[in-house]
Chains A and B, each alone.
Chain A
Amino acid sequence: MTLYLHELKSNRTSFWVWLVSVAAFCCGTVFLFPMTKESMSDLSDAFANMGGFSSAFGMDKLSVATLEGFFGTEIGTIYALGGGMYASLLGIGMLAKEEGAHTAEFLHTLTMSRPAIVTGKLLASLTLLAAFGLLNFGAMLASIAMVGESINLTSLTGYMLAQSLCQGEIFAVCFGISAFLRRNNLGVGLGLALVLYVVDIMSRIADETEWMRILTPFGFSNATDIFVNEGKMETLPVVIGGCIAAAGLAAAYAVYSRRDIST
Chain B
Amino acid sequence: MNVEQAIRMCGLSKTYGKNRGIDDLTFDVESGEIFGFLGPNGAGKSTTIRCLLGLIRPTDGSGSVFGLDIVKEHRAVMRSVGYLPSETMFYPDMKAGEVIRFAAKVRGMDCSAEAAKLCERLKVDVNKRIRDLSLGNRKKIAIVCAMQHKPSLFVFDEPTSGLDPLIQAEFFALVQEYNAGGATCFLSSHVLPEVRKYCGRAAIIREGRLVAVDSLEKLSRTNTKRVRLEGVTDLALDGISQLKKHENGIDFVYSGDIASLLGILHGQPIADLCIEEPSLEEVFMHYYDNSDKGGNA
User: Interface residues, chain A, CB within 8 Å of chain B?
Assistant: 2-3, 6, 10, 101-106, 108-113, 258, 260-261, 263
Contact = CB atoms under 8 A, between A and B. Distances in A.
Nearest to A120: B106
Interface in B201-240: none
Interface string B102-144: 1101111000000000000000000000000000000000100
B53 interface: yes
Contacts of A113: 74-75
Contacts of B172: none
B88 A108 contact: no
B284 interface: no
Interface in B38-81: 50, 53-57, 74-75, 78-79, 81
Nearest to A107: B106
A51 to B, nearest CB: 51
Contacts of A108: 53-55
A109 B146 CA distance: 10
A111 B56 CA distance: 16
Contacts of A103: 89-91
B107 A110 contact: yes
11 contacts: A2-B102, A2-B106, A101-B92, A102-B87, A102-B89, A109-B83, A111-B75, A111-B108, A260-B55, A261-B56, A263-B85
A109 B106 contact: no
B90 A110 contact: no
B9 to A, nearest CB: 18
Chain A at the B interface: SS class? loop
A255 B292 CA distance: 41
Contacts of B88: 106
Given A2-B105, A6-B102, A260-B56, A109 B78 contact: yes
B90 A111 contact: no
A260 B91 CA distance: 21
B108 A101 contact: no
Contacts of A263: 50, 55, 85, 87
Contacts of A111: 75, 78-79, 106-108
Contacts of B89: 101-103, 105-106
Contacts of B187: none
Contacts of B253: none
Contact of A105 (B79, B85, B102): B85
